[in-house]
Amino acid sequence: MSQPTYASQRTAPRGPGILVVTGGTDGIGRALAERRLGLGDTVAVIGRSRDKGEAFLAHARRTGAADRAHFIRADLGLLTENRRVIDRLRDAFPVIDTLVFCARYYRADRAETAEGIEETFAHFYLSRYLFGHGLADSLGRSAHPVVVNVAGPGAGLDVIRWDDLEFRDGYHGGAALGQAGKLNDLLGVTSAERYAEAGLRYVLVHPGATVTSLAGQYDEATRRHIEEMQRTAKPITQALEPIAAVVDRAPGQPLSAFVEGRELDVRTADFDVTAARRLDEVTEAFLENASA
Ligand SMILES: NC(=O)c1ccc[n+]([C@@H]2O[C@H](COP(=O)([O-])OP(=O)(O)OC[C@H]3O[C@@H](n4cnc5c(N)ncnc54)[C@H](OP(=O)(O)O)[C@@H]3O)[C@@H](O)[C@H]2O)c1
């Protein structure tokens, strides 16, 4: 397949609208939230830290956008919290134009949430699953709905541990994040399939190594690697551009994937529809069981 050029197949630029960013209180998510606030969007950001949320609101006040800025404090590792926030967003915003996933936290040691779910699986995958489906009605009322899932598209399906999605055995923080990234690819496949008729554009984005807070609980070796990254990786302003571009002008097709602005072919085995449907069934059953 010939690779489409980066700007060849975009929709028309979107005017001011409603933007929701999970993990929008820091790093790339925060930069996007502020950029869109400056362009006239109404923006809701979600994160755990009250201080970071207040800093976002203070920025909005300084720039005359206080009435369009919202912060919802929540731990997206908890299913109950995800559902609470989704309900609140549905009430507040019958129409949502763009939903962006940026929440991420590294765990060197395996940890479980208070609900007994492995933390990376919970906040980096299940949360995105719940938000995408839970806000589908609000997105469906937008003229040009877009979901941007910022993770790391393009890995092989073999990173998925179908029999041990929560890494009970042989946990590694990088592997847990890598697997969740792949699950997000497959979430994109089924979401694009399910909501294409409603006009949804689902965009998977890998920003590349970027100097952000890169928050996490690190072991010594990983900490050294992160410190090296903080010296050598690209600045947020650079990582933001391709993401801001897909928010402004969404790709024309229901599913697309980009690594640092370079488009991937989503018709390869890495985005296999059968695997995606299998994951969808597994996730539904998991959530049903977890909520029982
Ligand atoms: N930076 C990179 O090199 C890089 C590379 C590849 C992919 N990415 C992807 O880019 C996206 C943004 O990353 P970043 O580096 O900009 O992140 P970051 O600076 O570390 O910020 C992470 C954000 O997620 C929030 N968050 C973390 N855990 C949360 C939880 N359980 N509940 C609610 N909010 C939570 C944080 O808020 P609190 O602090 O309040 O929890 C913060 O707003 C992520 O999806 C990441 O996977 C980044």
End-to-end CA distance of the chain: 46
Q: Is residue 278 pLDDT above 50, yes or no?
A: yes
Q: Is residue 132 pLDDT above 70, yes or no?
A: yes
> CA-based angle 76:81:83, to the nearest 5?
105
Average pLDDT on 15-32 reads: 97
Q: Is residue 5 part of a domain?
A: no
Average pLDDT on 85-95 reads: 97
User: Which CATH number does the domain housing residue 132 bear?
Assistant: 3.40.50.720
Protein residue closest via CA to atom 46 of ligand 1:
151
Pocket test for ligand 1, best of 50, 118, 205, 212 (most atoms within 8 A of CB): 212
At residue 265, the pLDDT reads 96
Q: Is residue 74 part of a domain?
A: yes
At residue 218, the pLDDT reads 95
Q: At what angle do helices 127-134 and 79-92 cross, to 10 degrees?
A: 30
**Above pLDDT 70, what percent of the chain?**
97
CA of 197 to the centre of ligand 1 (A): 31
pLDDT band at 292 (very low <50, low <70, confident <90, very high): confident
Which residues contact ligand 1 via a Cβ below 6 A? 23, 25-29, 46-49, 52, 74-77, 102-105, 123, 150-152, 206-207, 209-210, 212-215, 233
Q: Is residue 109 part of a domain?
A: yes
Evaluate whether 46 touches 21 at the Cβ level (below 8 Å). Answer: yes
Whole-prediction pTM: 0.96
Burial of 114 (0-12, 13-18, 19+ CB in 10 A): exposed
CA of 2 to the centre of ligand 1 (A): 33
- 185-229 per-position pLDDT tens digit: 999 999 999 999 999 999 999 999 999 999 999 999 999 999 999
Atom of ligand 1 nearest to the CA of 103: 24
Atom of ligand 1 nearest to the CA of 233: 3
pLDDT band at 10 (very low <50, low <70, confident <90, very high): confident
Protein residue closest via CA to atom 8 of ligand 1:
151
Domain that holds residue 170: 18-291
One-letter amino acid of 182: K
Atom of ligand 1 nearest to the CA of 22: 34
* Residue 146 φ then ψ, to 5°: -135, 135
What is the total count of domains within the chain? 1
pLDDT band at 6 (very low <50, low <70, confident <90, very high): very low
Q: Is residue 160 part of a domain?
A: yes
Spatial separation of the C-alpha atoms in residues 142 and 280, rounded to whole Å: 25
Atom of ligand 1 nearest to the CA of 213: 19
Q: Is residue 11 part of a domain?
A: no
Q: Is residue 7 part of a domain?
A: no
Handedness of CA 289, 193, 262, 25 (dihedral sign): negative
Helix (DSSP H) and strand (DSSP E) numbers for the chain: 10, 10
Atom of ligand 1 nearest to the CA of 177: 47
Pocket test for ligand 1, best of 20, 21, 22, 26 (most atoms within 8 A of CB): 26
Task: Assign 158 to helix, strand or coil.
Answer: helix
- 217-264 per-position pLDDT tens digit: 999 999 999 999 999 999 999 999 999 999 999 999 999 999 999 999
Query: Six-digit token pair at 17?
Result: 């609208």
Q: Is residue 8 part of a domain?
A: no
